[in-house]
Structure 1
């Protein structure tokens, strides 16, 4: 299988991390968003949305959206619960990541890291801080009670939220006030076959 992505993107890193933890072989094709790689006709033929990551299977099928990709890759492994309610809880956290976490933490990071915090986007960057900390507080509350988001077992819910949380400082979010999140980050980094971003 082939994965199209940007090594510095949290959404793409989710896929790399799941592949590493599950020892899955793949070909990586680096995509430069700022250079317009995702707007080229060859890429749009694979994904009309022009987004990465993109998974291309050997039989020609493709799959986009990072959380859909990692859930597909992890199906049948310990990262995906077999219990239907627990699986729904994974998805609940993944929707939280996409709607309540990523739009603040990942976007603030993009403005600072990718764009260099231009003056015309500083107000937007500052506005993202409140929502990002609200999301981190929700995670902190859960991780104060359980080692992973669903309890004792690492799941794709953790991978989804780890991707941008562990580089939240690049978007201006200090994690010093979140000791449970810090301990959770360390637990994930100590996993066998863990790989770092980039």
Structure 2
């Protein structure tokens, strides 16, 4: 049985759960939360020395860490990874953008404001920086979505899954999504795609 080590309130962990739900792929979800130190236990770090979730453990015992790497593995040969060379490159582009220019600000600002253990890090300077750079990422997304239904072209892909995970809860981090109407319309398209499940979904 495929095992996904994840935590329920993590957008990064939501990504593979959402894709596997769409694919109808069976898996066992094992909750490993950073809130209580479970990601840093010797047993878990023996599986993933980076002490982070999600991590996918395949039926044969091989493991894959990093949310977007898991998406790429799961999406191979499906409609969620474009066959067209250019659109496939765009998918990678937006996956890299999500982890470098989006998640470090939008996800982190939400964590600073909603996770009690992160409150000590929520300095005015850090909150201001994450707000500024998160809004910059949203503006980049808005510009793309003004001209394209989805990030890698006219079809839903794992690029959309990756960016949806933290964007749809961005208002919890103090971001005003009403200022980005193209993103708002895209969120509705993502949620209308067959097999969509919410972040709290488990198999």
TM-score calculated relative to the size of structure 2: 0.94
> For residues 63 and 121 of structure 2, what CA distance do their matches in structure 1 show?
37
Runs of 4+ in structure 1 off by over 6 angstroms are none
1:184 is matched with 186
Change (3 A) 1:139 1:23: same
> For residues 21 and 176 of structure 2, what CA distance do their matches in structure 1 show?
27
> For residues 52 and 100 of structure 1, what CA distance do their matches in structure 2 show?
20
Give the secondary-structure state (helix, strand or coil) at the position aligned to 1:109.
Answer: helix
2:199 is matched with 197
1:67 is matched with 68
1:35-114 paired onto structure 2 within 5 Å: 35-114=36-115
> For residues 54 and 70 of structure 1, what CA distance do their matches in structure 2 show?
11
Deviates more, 1:114-123 or 1:137-146: 114-123
1:112-131 paired onto structure 2 within 5 Å: 112-115=113-116, 118=119, 121-123=122-124, 124-131=126-133
Change (3 A) 1:4 1:185: same
Matched, 1:14 2:15: yes
> For residues 146 and 120 of structure 1, what CA distance do their matches in structure 2 show?
37
TM-score calculated relative to the size of structure 1: 0.96
Change (3 A) 1:183 1:116: farther
Please report how far the alpha carbon of residue 117 of structure 1 lies from its aligned counterpart in structure 2 after TM superposition.
Answer: 6.7
2:35 is matched with 34
Change (3 A) 1:189 1:83: same
Matched, 1:150 2:152: yes
Give the secondary-structure state (helix, strand or coil) at the position aligned to 2:43.
Answer: helix
Deviates more, 1:82-91 or 1:4-13: 82-91
Please report how far the alpha carbon of residue 4 of structure 1 lies from its aligned counterpart in structure 2 after TM superposition.
Answer: 0.5
Change (3 A) 1:116 1:61: closer
How many residues align? The count is 198
Unpaired runs of at least 5, structure 2: none
